[in-house]
Amino acid sequence: MAVTSAEKTVSARTGVDSLWARLRVEAASAAAEEPILASFLNAAILRHDEFSHALAYRLAAKMADAQLDMMLARDVAEEALEGDPTIVAKAAADMMAVDERDPACLSLLQPFLYFKGFHALQAHRVSHWLWNEGRQTLAFHLQSRVGERFGLDIHPAARIGQGVMFDHATSVVIGETAVIGDDCSILHEVTLGGTGAAHQDRHPKIGKGVLIGAGARVLGNIHVGDGARIAAGSVVLQDVPEGCTVAGVPAKVVGDCCKEPAKSMDQSLPSGSG
């Protein structure tokens, strides 16, 4: 039986509420264990009545600058979250992805408060909403702040699904016409780049559940199939079939994938592929 849009909305709302309840418990516990951070945890999490309000506050704290102070940055974030409620559900899915896939993540507090990959992705979601609203100047301003603050460059027009994890995230570059599907994991120094200077659809289309290893370059308007795995340091110039592993410069198919590589984070190459 097909799931209706109303059922999906209820499920997403339930997921957000469950995550928010857990985040508050973790924040209260951390404040009791480390009183020196109690004021910070209260301001960032405990004083808010909804996850969306806490998220807008945290993004504002990270993205404010001399041109856009924290109050204005918070207004912009809240406007985006109200304008597109799916941003909140996507942020919750992104947090759960980090919690489930990153063995260094000990609690939801870490991505919400400290992980720059999570912060950069949520700031991008705000800038993407601005872009679609025709507010390109402010969208570019947020893109610039993401670069300055976190060392990533994500064009506001790029489309990114939910349940996505940027692990470490430093030096990730994602071009204007790039598309990233749900449930992907992308490590540091990954480039989803274009070829040529023409204003056209020139960036990669990444399917669902794809794992892209550190330092990989995926270039041009090519398609990476669902559940594929790109080995670290590879340069991908051609379409990647669904459910396979590619490696090398230029990248070639070296075998099939493990099941759900983006979730298992298994980056080992198939035996005999060396």
What domains, with CATH codes, occur in the chain? 10-135 (1.10.3130.10), 158-274 (2.160.10.10)
**Percent of the chain topping pLDDT 70:** 94
Model confidence over 204-242: pLDDT tens digits? 999 999 999 999 999 999 999 999 999 999 999 999 999
Model pLDDT, residue 177: 97
- 74: tokens are 């918070």
Mean per-residue pLDDT, 19-27: 98
Specify the 3-state DSSP secondary structure of 1.
Answer: coil
Residue 274, pLDDT score = 54
pLDDT tens for 137-161 read: 999 999 999 999 999 999 999 999 9
**pLDDT averaged over the chain?**
94
Nearest to 145 by CA among 59, 87, 225, 206: 59
Per-residue pLDDT, 5: 57
Q: Rounded to a whole number, what is the largest CA-CA distance in the chain?
A: 57
Give pLDDT, residue 257.
Answer: 75
pLDDT at 126 over 60: yes
At 6, list the tokens: 């109303």
Question: Is the pTM value of this prediction over 0.85?
Answer: yes
Contact 261, 101 (CB under 8 A): no
Q: What separation in angstroms does the CA of 18 have from each of 51, 92, 93, 96, 186?
A: 10, 10, 11, 11, 26
Banded model confidence at residue 9, pLDDT cuts 50, 70, 90? low
Position 7 pLDDT exceeds 60: no
Q: Which of 236, 192, 183, 234 is nearest to 213 (CA)?
A: 234
Q: What is the DSSP-derived secondary structure letter of residue 273?
A: -
Asked if residue 13 has pLDDT above 90, the reply is no
Alpha helices in the chain (DSSP H): 5-33, 38-41, 51-63, 70-83, 86-101, 109-113, 116-132, 136-150, 261-264
DSSP label of 35: G
269 pLDDT tier (thresholds 50, 70, 90) = confident
Structure tokens belonging to residue 151 = 């060392």
Least confident of 12-26, 47-61, 136-150, 179-193: 12-26
Strand-strand pairing, 244-247 and 252-256: antiparallel
Average pLDDT for residues 169-180, to the nearest whole number?
97
